[in-house]
Amino acid sequence: MSIKKLPDNSGATLTVLDLDGYYLPTFLQLKNHEEELRSMPDWKARDDDVMICTYPKSGTHWLWEIVSMMVRKKAERIKTVKETAMMEIMAKETHDNIPSPRVLNTHVYFEYLPKDFAERKCKIIYALRNPKDVAVSFFNHHSKIREYEFSGTWEDYVQRYIKGDLDYGTWFDYTLKWEKFMTDNQDYPIFVTTFEDMKEDSLREVTRIAKFLGVDCDQTFLQEVNDLCHFDRMKKEKNALEQADGWKGDEPGMYRKGEVGDWKNWFTVAQSEQFDIVYQEKMKDSKVKPRFTLRK
């Protein structure tokens, strides 16, 4: 495993960790990172674990906050950030010492996760976001976090994103792998939502999540959780918990706009058409139908 700088068409690089051809963020703060990552399949799960699985920039923070409140049965702001429970950034000791019920999260493929997690059939919450909005959010993410050492342009980034020359590979591969896993394991307890569904009616989705988790609660509790997890409120309160020195300008930017359809402000007509051609080819056999806009 080594640090790798992935160049774009103009030579601008993105710094990642190369794990046998699978790219991850460097996570320089984690000692013995390779050892921890390679040992992860042997980590032990607990029956009440919940895992949130998403491609980056698909509402992971939002869901983690909601689910963490649900399992605690308290409509109170979580006093830490979701990175403290992120599988690929933690050591085994940290994983083992998180008190139950654990709400874990990850962007890695399922095969990298603990085998015990699958054997116990721990609950999974899987969220999808349309790939054009993901591209915009990921570009801003890469541009602002110091560790990536990235200063490329949006024009070149679109090509990088399509090819998967970034951490976690392509949106296409991630989405297709999860679609296949769910098709092959229809008895597995997986809750599926989308970023667009959450934006359209967050209370509806919060209610569905509570039912999936088996949380016994009333409508007042659900509304309180929903209100606490409104994007603007989370942006203000949760950004204050982020480590500012990891961001350019020392200003945390994990929460940006949280909108559906912002891609229209970034993609040119030509870029959008090119992306659509690739999308149609990559997803031609898929039943996944993301929404790129919401009806007003």
Name, in order, each residue with C-beta under 8 angstroms of 252's C-beta and a sequence gap of 6 or more. 239, 240, 242, 243, 244, 246
Q: Is 61 one of the annotated active-site residues of the chain? A: no
First-last CA distance in the chain:
47
**Please, which residues bridge with residue 194 across strands?**
128
Question: Which residue in 33, 61, 95, 107 is the catalytic one?
Answer: 107
**Rounded Cα gap, residues 278 and 274, in angstroms:** 7
To the nearest 10 degrees (0 to 180), the angle between helices 154-163 and 131-144 is 120
**Please, which residues bridge with residue 127 across strands?**
54, 193
**Rounded Cα gap, residues 89 and 91, in angstroms:** 7
Please write down the long-range contacts of 63-69, taking CB distance under 8 Å and 24 or more positions apart. Answer: 63/105, 63/125, 63/127, 63/193, 63/198, 63/209, 64/103, 64/105, 65/228, 65/229, 65/234, 65/238, 66/206, 66/209, 66/225, 66/229, 67/103, 67/125, 67/209, 67/213, 68/103, 69/225, 69/228, 69/229
Of 55, 62, 100, 96, the C-alpha closest to 78 is 62
Beta strands in 168-216 (DSSP E): 190-194
Active-site residues, by number, are 107
